Structure 1
Amino acid sequence: MENGVVDGVVCSTESVDGSRDVWSCKTSDSASADHLVIMVNGILGSATDWKFAAELFVKMLPDKIFVHCSERNVSRLTLDGVDVMGERLAGEVLEVIQRKPNLKKISFVAHSVGGLVARYAIGKLYRPCKSENVEDSSVSERDEDSGKIGGLEAMNFITVATPHLGSRGNKQVPFLFGLPALERAASCVIHLIFRRTGRHLFLTDGEEGKPPLLKRMIEDQDDCYFMSALRTFKRRVAYSNVGYDHIVGWRTSSIRRDNELPKWEGVVNEKYPHVVYEERCKGYDAEQSETTTVEDDGSDELEEELLTGLSRLPWEKVDVSFHSSRQRIAAHSIIQVKDEIVHIEGADVIRHMIDHFLT
């Protein structure tokens, strides 16, 4: 296990399996930190992708949080499918909770497909009531009320450039240029590159006659309380790139229809230069959503179902632009500050997360 200290303020350990824990070096701060923040990497990523953000979170909230950067789904393991990765992440979270008995709250910060993995994991970790049969008694003892995640109070669920509506068609993957022929071809071959994860993202799984996984994740399913878990968080936040993200499109990451995308040009934000639009969306029911037709907004029927399902809950939506950046072609990584040197322009986005973080 590798230990480290940053500026004499932030302590960290990196285990042999690659996970990374970050906390305040000050004993009084670390003793009072009862809020677990789970950071989840995206496809082909690793725990180090969140290194900058994790350290900044602890520097700014030293007596509040303990950060764990997940390692269960790294590199090629991210190709195994959202469900398999979600199961792994859920197990990892329970292990962290068991070795940190002072924890009372939990939040997730997830990048790209990691946001879908986190949504699956919380569906497995959610417990509706204390009487529920939970295998691990040490965790069940924490379940004093309904709506806990691994026995902890759910606070912030934050996704960063996550394809909530999947990645198939309608310019959801910008590098396909919105060309229908390329998008159809990608749906047919994506599994050859990204295996089961690719099928889930392009909504082509439908195994054993079941609907695609992302559709199943907008309802509670058997022992997976996907929507109940998402609902139990005090905040749900979607950070999105308005452009130059060639991996995840603006609409799918911000959970919007085409005609709901805001005008952001000309916005000047002195405190957070790259944050160009913020919106608090109320949850609405199915009847309200019927006023929008598939033909009107250019989305397909399945995508509309995903959007409608997720929109039943309130979301905070934060739109980010790196159009003026020299590195704008790497917007998908800059928004996360994946590399502290190359992607540092996204630091104001991380500060925005922290400044609005419920502790």
Structure 2
Amino acid sequence: MLPIDRDGRTRKLGLIDMQSGGDVSRIVYSGVDNIPGHSTLEKMRYLQNHGDGLRRLLLSEPYGDPAMSVDLIVPPGDPRAQAGYIIMEAMGYPLYSGSNTICTATAVLQSGLVAMQEGEQNLVLESPAGLAHVTAQNRNGRVESITTQGEPAYVAARDLQVTMPRGDVIPFDVVWSGAFFAMVDASALGFALVADEFPKLASFGDSFIREVRKTFTEQHPQLGDVGPVPFAHFMGPVEQAPAGHYRSRSATYVHPGVICRSPTGTGTSARLALMAADGMLQPGEVLETVSPRNSSFLGTYLGDTTVGDRRAVNSNITGRAWTLSHSHLVVDLDDPLVDISDLEHLLLTEEGDGAR
């Protein structure tokens, strides 16, 4: 039973916690007031500049954990979409995320925010990067898989290198797939990409991304300045399973200090784009990425497109999300551990039916 607010100093948020591939996404579906902006991208930029207190609250102790993600449900600006969602992580505000899209799509269907249909169902969500076209496979009121097509991915830079603080020279490529990823060969660095390596991967990732940010400062050809490089993607060897199906261990570092538990959808898309550019993958073929926790996503190379004047790759990602909890979070504005700057004006005095 929720406590009674006798003096008007508490706020309540409706949450659905999900996980996909081991990464936890906290879906906020109620308790947040209208956010200015016509599109999800404009709403995201408002939060970034004037409402970052919500992200800090939900990803910091005692309310959350930096290894989690938060997805705020908002009304879409595009009439083709059934819902919008703003992604918040330790690194800030990624424009798109595969695992967050899988979790958000599953949550809105299973909770009834969007009416679920038995069997195959098409759903369109509006991310800050644009429309995410989702196909859900539903059975007996549960979403058994999500396939999502998001941002086209393109190779932004090849054959770069940085010198690490101890003098090691690390070669890398940069790929855009909803954010910029610095792509590194895990085997050359001595990583097998298993769970025991999480601390070493995080430590290397932190130093590496700090150096990458000094080297790579390119803007997106359509979105402009999207901030410094937030991700490193560690690539394991590629193995062929059945014909047209490849498998590779992988890990994604999120700055600062987080190694994803899942293979990450955007990391998988980035790897697909790199393999396609190298002629290692043909349209219709599949890459299965396997995380250090042995969870996996399937990425399918759909074909080529362009982003500005760049050759780009369309792909989709398939995975499944699982519900962890339905809850209400109580925010006491007088709690000394609650930083109400950039926060109080976002929270509804009385919980509404949905995030607005």
- TM-score by structure 1 length? 0.29
Structure 1 or 2: larger helix share?
1
- TM-score by structure 2 length? 0.29
Greater relative contact order, per chain length (Cα 8 Å cut-off, separation 6+) = 2
Structure 1 or 2: larger strand share?
2
